[in-house]
Amino acid sequence: MKTMRLPFGRSVTTLVACFVLASPAFAETPASGDTARGFTPIFDGETLDGWNARPHFNPNDFAALSDDERSEKLDQWMGEAKQHWTIENGELVNDGKGPYLTTAKDYGDYELMLEYKTVPGADSGIYLKGTPQVQIWDYTDPAKFKIGSDLGSGGLWNNSEGAAGKNPFVLADAPLGSWNQVRIVQVGARTTVYLNDLLVVDHAIMENYWDRAAPLLKSGPIELQTHGGEIRWRKLAVKELSPEEANAVLQNHHSQAFKSLFNGDDLSGWQGATDNYEVVNNAIVCKKGSGGLLLTEDEYANFIARVEFRLPPGGNNGLAIRSGGEGDAAYAAMTELQVLDSEHPKYAKLDARQYHGSAYGMAAAVRGYLRPTGEWNFQEVTVDGSKIKVELNGNVILDTDLSEAKDFLADKKHPGLTRTSGFFGFAGHNDPVEFRKVSIKRLPETAAK
């Protein structure tokens, strides 16, 4: 069949009606089985409906533009893109130049599938949440061996040197000129990449190229990069993940290494203010109007703890870290990590070190990564010596060394700060905050000594 080049915005049915039933565009859409699994095509094989154009451009700067400025930029970039992008037989084709194609829709937690085919010398990629990038390039090009092309495509190339995910585990590229299949699962910044059915990146944190000190954006567009040679794309489809599905991705990763702390039925294995907590629908709930410390029976030095929690409007609780079993965990324990409905109006004027995920009164967590009130959140906390890392819904919102804390809220002392072991648990503050799927993994204790 003769190749069909489609002008942007025109339908193949208008141009070549006699070929509709046989058009490869129908064969190149995601398989019906993928659609049944919840995937939605994001390229219809005929038009650029649902797509914008954007060059390498900081999404924060784009968001800061006025509506008129954004509209003007989008018109300009699409005009440039039309000089370099075409649609052929249901494939998006770029000549290696011009702005990138960018989904008009932003995505948060999702699974992406697509296929691409490129040529010798090409160097491209897939931006996730507007951020570079899952790398695509000519793995045979000696000129780029020093920067890793010989390792293959699929890595998070813009991660820092030595960081997980920067380089793919295996060289999984198909021969140049062949189609490659890509599957990406991204929950928060946690990113997994399969290339041609081989795992090349496993649950790695994708760094924020635009601001290394900040987490990846909560949501953003998928972008198809153009750089250095022709690349073709087809079978693009996305499945957006519900909070339950996203939490399962995070919860199930290496779950066999964690010990469950809660059986879902009663408070067996817990001590402290057991009369102030109850089990409702397989979750530990602080009774309204009650509080206090609900703690594990065992002590822990260095560990990774996982928990899912759900906040009521204005809800307030905390995670007690290395508690001695008495006193206010924010001071008597090593720290209390805030569990708080940070965006509730009644908390508008708190100190930054009092919002969710913060080491209370000592180190502020990044805000903006809680799910809407009433939805379950996943949190992982790593305690290693004096260092604490808090990961919320796949995003690192706190990574600090509390031994370096010097400025304390209200100049109040934290006598428990130097504790090297203690109990883990919940520090209730009168609100019915819920916790479930609580588990822990011990780490070597040498760092705590």
Of 205, 325, 309, the C-alpha closest to 273 is 325
Domains of the chain, each with CATH number or no CATH: 5-241 (2.60.120.560), 254-448 (2.60.120.560)
Cβ-based neighbours of 8, under 8 Å, separated by 6 or more? 47, 48, 82, 85, 87
Answer yes or no: is pLDDT of 446 > 50. yes
The DSSP 8-state label assigned to residue 52 in this structure reads E
User: Is residue 227 very low, low, confident or very high in pLDDT (cuts 50, 70, 90)?
Assistant: confident
Supply the pLDDT for residue 37. 78
Of 240, 217, 246, 207, the C-alpha closest to 393 is 246
Residue 121 to residue 176: CA distance in whole angstroms: 10
Q: What is the pLDDT of residues 154-173, one digit of tens each?
A: 999 999 999 999 999 999 99
Contacts for 262-270: CB closer than 8 Å, 24+ residues apart: 262/435, 262/436, 262/437, 262/438, 264/436, 267/294, 269/296, 269/297, 270/294, 270/295, 270/296, 270/297, 270/425
Largest CA distance in the chain: 80
Q: What is the pLDDT of residues 10-49, one digit of tens each?
A: 333 333 333 233 333 323 344 545 655 799 999 999 999 9
Q: What is the pLDDT of residues 316-346, one digit of tens each?
A: 999 999 999 999 999 999 999 999 999 999 9
Rg (CA), the chain: 25
Strand, coil or helix: 220: strand
| N- to C-terminal Cα separation, the chain | 72
Residue 187 to residue 438: CA distance in whole angstroms: 20
User: Is residue 411 very low, low, confident or very high in pLDDT (cuts 50, 70, 90)?
Assistant: very high
Q: What is the pLDDT of residues 344-397, one digit of tens each?
A: 999 999 999 999 999 999 999 999 999 999 999 999 999 999 999 999 999 999
Bridge partners of residue 118, in order along the sequence: 231
Question: Any idea which residue has 């203690």 for tokens?
Answer: 422
pTM for the predicted model, two decimal places:
0.91
Supply the pLDDT for residue 23. 31
Of 371, 374, 372, 411, the C-alpha closest to 393 is 371
β-pairing, 131-137 vs 316-323, is unpaired
